[in-house]
Amino acid sequence: MQQLIITTLFLILTVSPVTGRNYYIYVTAESQDKVHVVKFDGEKATVIKDIPVGVWPLEIEGPHGLTISPDGKYWYLSLAHGFPFGHVYKYETGSDKMVDRVELGLFPATMQISTATGLLYVVNFNLHGEHEPSTISIVDPEEMIEVKRVETGVMPHGSRLTNDGLKQYSVAMMSGTLYELDVLQFDISRTLFTGRKKQMNMQGSMDHKNSMKKNTMHKIPKEKPTWVYPHPADTHVYVVNNGTDNVVEIDLGNWAITRQFKTGKGPYNCEVSQDGKYLVVTYKSAAKTGIWDLNTGQELVRLKNTRRVTHGVVISPDSRYAFVSVEGIRGEPGSVDVFDLENLTLVDHAEVGKQAGGIAFWKMED
């Protein structure tokens, strides 16, 4: 009897508490002008809704970035292409009705709302334009008006805020630089070169301007950072260097690289689980997803995605599942692959529209 009780207690402590939980994710299909809602019940991933987006039925407008408002009431979508500027659209979650939109810069991409200010920070990626400094648009998501535009590096991507909502981070792909924006100052506060060898550490907005001028005169750094994600404790950020196949950990206090993780080919996006344990990295060129133990700095497993061109990743708030968008090739559907972070396996996938890209976690329901 005692053994039974002990066994039962052991099972209670170790078995995942997530049975019977549904997870909901939004994902874009960039070459199909669609956004999908995917539901995962712990075993099966299913597309439960297809939402056509954009206003020109016969021009691909390119839905790229997604974010959910902190209160879960709205989702925001960046549409990359316009005549010529892109837009961010605001939709109601659930009904998925379009509420409003605001025109921003060229190819608005990644974005997130600060929990501190309530403002939306969107990078204008300008992926296909000239290699010149681009901008971060700061948007009031209530009014859907752009309130400020802050100059940043060349081809900014990734836009993630610390959990306290006070700092926004993005990387400039063709400047090889991490940018920190102080949300209360509405300006860049620090920049950091994301490679190991040339550690350029700039503080303050004046230095930032000089830094940019220097970068635009230089050759394109080989690092080509594509993503940045903060640790839930707001002590570090993780920058994905797509060009040099690594992820660097940056200490926000020292403003220096502390660790470097050698990844699979072509790392693209990453996310840290809420419990701070896992770093999940998508390997675009390798069509794989890597799951790392942040404590040990070791890659636990590198799992094959269901198709090629791995793109974005989002981890459920219970740190159990990673949802990875995979673009696919040409006419094949994109997919959302679901990885179990405890068992380190691919659980299921849902086929979505072509060129699945931006992905955002909406909610969990028991």
Q: Which residues lie near other proteins (CB under 8 A)?
A: 13, 30-34, 50, 52-60, 70-71, 81-85, 115-119, 127-129, 137-138, 140, 142-143, 145-149, 164-165, 184-186, 274-277, 308-309, 327-332, 354-355
Residue 334 tokens read as: 């994109």
Q: Which is nearer to other proteins, 119 or 192 (CB)?
A: 119
Q: Which is nearer to other proteins, 129 or 200 (CB)?
A: 129
Q: Which is nearer to other proteins, 32 or 192 (CB)?
A: 32
Residue 17 tokens read as: 């508490």
Report the distance separating Cα 315 and Cα 326, nearest Å: 15
Q: Which is nearer to other proteins, 71 or 366 (CB)?
A: 71
In the complex, the smallest distance separating the C-beta of residue 254 from other proteins, rounded to whole angstroms, is: 22
Q: Which is nearer to other proteins, 4 or 58 (CB)?
A: 58
> DSSP readout, 52-105?
E--S-TTS---EEEEEE-TTSSEEEEEE---SS--EEEEEETTT--EEEEEE-S
CA-based torsion, 354, 45, 22, 292: positive or negative = negative
In the complex, the smallest distance separating the C-beta of residue 199 from other proteins, rounded to whole angstroms, is: 30
In the complex, the smallest distance separating the C-beta of residue 329 from other proteins, rounded to whole angstroms, is: 5
Q: Which is nearer to other proteins, 41 or 332 (CB)?
A: 332
In the complex, the smallest distance separating the C-beta of residue 131 from other proteins, rounded to whole angstroms, is: 10
Report the distance separating Cα 106 and Cα 89, nearest Å: 15
Contact criterion met (CB below 8 Å) for 61 and 366: no
Q: Which is nearer to other proteins, 62 or 257 (CB)?
A: 62
Report the distance separating Cα 179 and Cα 49, nearest Å: 36
In the complex, the smallest distance separating the C-beta of residue 263 from other proteins, rounded to whole angstroms, is: 20
In the complex, the smallest distance separating the C-beta of residue 349 from other proteins, rounded to whole angstroms, is: 18
In the complex, the smallest distance separating the C-beta of residue 43 from other proteins, rounded to whole angstroms, is: 24
* Residue of 303, 360, 315 lying closest to 25 (CA atoms): 360
Contact criterion met (CB below 8 Å) for 145 and 136: no
Residue 55 tokens read as: 């206003």
Question: How would you classify the pairing of strands 63-68 and 45-52?
Answer: unpaired
Q: Which is nearer to other proteins, 146 or 348 (CB)?
A: 146
In the complex, the smallest distance separating the C-beta of residue 70 from other proteins, rounded to whole angstroms, is: 5
Residue 39 tokens read as: 């539901």
CA-based torsion, 327, 31, 114, 26: positive or negative = negative
